[in-house]
Amino acid sequence: MLRRLAFLLLLSATLAAQDLPPTRTVVRPVLNMHSSASSDTDVVSQAIYATRVGVLEQKDGWTRIRTPDDYTGWVESSALMSRAGAPYGSGKDVVVVRSLFAHVYREDNVTKHAPLVTVPFEATLERDSAPATSPDRWTTVRLPDGARGFIQHGDIGAPGQTLTVDETIALAKRFLGMPYTWGGASSYGYDCSGFMQMLMRQRGYTMPRDASPQARWSGHDGVTRAELAPGDLLYFGASAERITHTGMYIGNGQFINATTHETPMVRIDNLDDPYWTRLLVAARRIKS
């Protein structure tokens, strides 16, 4: 027992000595991450409401953060909140937004007041112990700023659910017509790799953020065009070394993607289209 206690104390001291970065919680529905500490610089990705992020650096009202997918960027410090005690959403009693967007209200009524906040798909919220007056329709949640809110059951689900390939394709089609957004990683607007990363996350896989690293990811194997099956990932570019776009094959020669080609949105395209045939350089299948 004494030996085990000594080991635990040593481990605790070692972790403390590593000076692990503090964490903050995102309190905007969608938070743009910039390449530098200025809104005049390009957006590299996004973090969504209630996401816990690591703090790497701070200056002039800006904070450089690291998201759970190991991506870094600069955000406005005012969009982050610290919290005493356990980080927000770290407990087991949480719900995940499954609608494309969801309103959180100040009471369990949609007509009395405007929503407190409208959060995107995948936002994770803590349950609150206070009961709703209509528990068959409403769930009570506690927001990162401590406010109590109410969200309808039809907008949420349990965490940790993973989808089959067919379910993932059905989910992807729910986003058809949503705008393409450079750096987008939320239901407010995805870019191509953000869209694919989200879909693979629903299948239970953590994939890199950008298209070229995704193509090199060790979690899938290469397949030929003749071997394509629904759920396979497609990579496009000038060459295999210069991949700039990605999508997911859905069968019958079609794939779904967030694209700027012709109409900037999530759409279904045909691989036989000469534009896409010319650019297709790789296909991948998740390892079983």
Question: How many angstroms separate the CA atoms of 51 and 54, rounded?
Answer: 10
Residue pLDDT, tens place only, 211-235: 999 999 999 999 999 999 999 999 9
Give the whole-angstrom CA distance, residue 88 versus residue 50.
7
pLDDT of residue 130: 87
9: confidence class by pLDDT, cuts 50, 70, 90: very low
How far apart (Å, rounded) are the C-alpha atoms in residues 197 and 214?
Answer: 8
Residues 17-37 have a mean pLDDT of 85
Q: What's the pLDDT score for residue 55?
A: 96
Domain boundaries, the chain: 21-81, 94-157, 165-286
Report the alpha-carbon distance of residue 126 to residue 91 in Å, rounded: 8
For residue 9, the SS3 value is: helix
Average pLDDT, the chain: 92
Residue 12 predicted with pLDDT over 80: no
pLDDT band at 276 (very low <50, low <70, confident <90, very high): very high
CATH code for residues 21-81: 2.30.30.40
Residue 287 pLDDT > 70: yes
Fold agreement between 94-157 and 165-286? no
**Quick one: CATH architecture of 94-157?**
Roll (2.30)
Enumerate the β-bridge partners of residue 41.
none
Predicted structure pTM score: 0.90
Tell me the two tokens of residue 105.
């209200």
Task: Answer whether residue 156 shows pLDDT above 80.
Answer: yes
Fold of 165-286: endopeptidase fold (from Nostoc punctiforme) (3.90.1720)
